[in-house]
Amino acid sequence: MKNFRLSKSLGVFWGTMMIVISIGYGFVYLLGTSLGKALGSTLDTAAEHKFTLFILAIICILGVMIGAGSFKL
């Protein structure tokens, strides 16, 4: 098990970073779209919202899989 200590730590680090970045980007994305609607933007991007949030959810799930999968080494 000592042989894989670097691989485990890198997996946990990058898995955590993917989760934090996807949640942070999602928060900033929703904040920006909310402010755009509040300021009277007339751009209708309902389909793009769903697609972007779907991609962010996939990245977050991949981060969980990477972080948890590194413990299987």
Does the pLDDT of residue 45 top 70, yes or no? no
Contact between 29 and 45 under an 8 Å Cβ cutoff? The reply is no
**pLDDT value of residue 24:** 92
Average confidence score pLDDT of the chain: 83
Specify the number of domains making up the chain. 1
- The pLDDT assigned to 43 comes to 62
* pLDDT of 73 higher than 90: no
Instruction: Residue 35: give the domain boundaries.
Output: 2-72
Q: How confident is the model at residue 47 (pLDDT cuts 50, 70, 90)?
A: low
